Amino acid sequence: AVASGQSAGHVAVSTRNSKKFTVSVNVEPESKVVFLLTYEELLDRRNDQYELIVNIHPGQIVKDLNVKVQINESRPLKFVRTPSLRSGNEISKNEDKLNPSSQLEIINSTSAVVKFNPDSEDQRQFARYLGDKESSGLSGQFVVQYDVERDPHGGEVLLQDGYFVHFFAPTDLEPLPKHVLLVLDTSSSMSGRKIEQVKDALKSILNELREQDILSIIDFGSSVSVWNVAQEQRTPIDYGYGFNYEEPFSKLSKEEFPAALTADNQTLIKANRVIDSLRAYGMTNIIGGLEAALYLAKVRQDHPSDKKYQPVIIFLTDGDPNVGVYSTQTITNIVTRLNTESKIPIYSLSFGEDADKEFLRKLSLKNQGFARHIYEAADASLQIQEFYKQVSSPLLSNITFKYNAEVKEVTKTKFPIYFKGSEIVVSGRYD
């Protein structure tokens, strides 16, 4: 088609795990071409809002640049807003100079239209503020945030053509007391800027803990240490260079570990000093750090105390395992087996370019959690804080949905934990 001068096109995905794709086009002389891209995306509700991101990168100043977002919901809208333009998937604070000054029109209680029409001068200014050449035009993200009014009872079910989707996001619930276990990679690859950024973020996370929560800190390099926060001392676990596949926890059960402490002011002051004292050196004993965290959480769960805590493991690493167990697949299998009964959610943070994101994603998904990648950039500590907001307030645990006999092929009905500001989505078929 190209050789004969006709219009032709080719669409290709350019990178794995990305929404980025390439369109290569040949256009006949003096002809007009319109591209229509249609796709479906489930918007995740995080921090009490949905967020739609429109990437804009024309590579030049556009005479008539027009972005229109139409929102049609089945429940009344609580709010619709457009924060500052972003240069990419980083987390940024709202800045007046990057305010899109978009037009918002409320059609009715469930519908709205947002329009963004920057003229040529606006595009030049946005390009300058976002750090690009003015002649290249706007290169960034236009973001629309909104949320809907919630059904205070069992959520909302949408039915269409023999299928259903159930959205569940309860409010007005008190957060459960939680046992936060920070599992931190302090191997030599974390030295320099990385460890400093992590320290900044961890201090912010500590300030978000409630007095009803309890805290444990574990760090791992060549060996693993459980911190006695009260005395600001570490209790090292010398695994050597082996791991007992047959009897996990056997070594740990012979050790005396410090108890998790209530997150009161005194504890937090000492925990901040513990975070300050962390140093990056040695190798990367991932299996040791995770085994220790699961053991401490299990001991706390089995404690005869009347008060129960929801354990939450936050696991941060930047590299590959090179002590104890080297295979990431084997680590995933061992951890999942150890966690079968307790079902403790493990939330993984992959830090920097060398982290094995695929391994951490599988590890978390098989252990009731999710993984996030933290980019080694100026906003790294903000990224970690933003992640923690998503898991800071567990409201329900051990959730089971039961539907009547007409419902078939349901995606998932059991959920170990529900966090404030998020949403559980179940879909399936019905007769």
Determine contact, residues 289/186, Cβ cutoff 8 Å: no
Tokens for 366?
């098989």
Going by C-alpha positions, the residue among 82, 310, 5, 62 that lies closest to residue 178 is 310
pLDDT per position as a tens digit, 321-356:
888 888 999 999 999 999 988 889 999 888 877 788
pLDDT per position as a tens digit, 11-32:
776 554 456 777 788 888 888 8
Would you say domain 178-392 falls under CATH 3.40.50.410? yes
pLDDT greater than 60 at residue 240: no
- How far is residue 359's CA from residue 327's CA, in Å, rounded to a whole number? 10
Q: How far is CA 4 from CA 9, 24, 26, 367, in A?
A: 14, 16, 11, 56
- Integer distance in angstroms from the first to the last C-alpha of the chain? 48
- The contacts of residue 93 (CB under 8 Å, 6+ apart) are 84
Tokens for 148?
């809907």
Per-residue confidence (pLDDT) for residue 19, from 0 to 100: 64
Mean pLDDT computed over 359-369:
92
- The contacts of residue 353 (CB under 8 Å, 6+ apart) are 376
pLDDT per position as a tens digit, 39-80:
888 888 988 899 999 988 888 999 999 999 999 998 899 999
Mean pLDDT computed over 274-283:
91
Query: Which pLDDT band holds residue 239 (cuts at 50, 70, 90)?
Result: low
Domain ranges of the chain: 1-39, 43-148, 156-173+397-430, 178-392
Determine contact, residues 184/219, Cβ cutoff 8 Å: yes
Tokens for 196?
């400093």
Tokens for 295?
């053991």
pTM of structure: 0.74
Tokens for 18?
């990305």
Instruction: Decide the pairing of beta strands 111-116 and 67-72.
Output: antiparallel
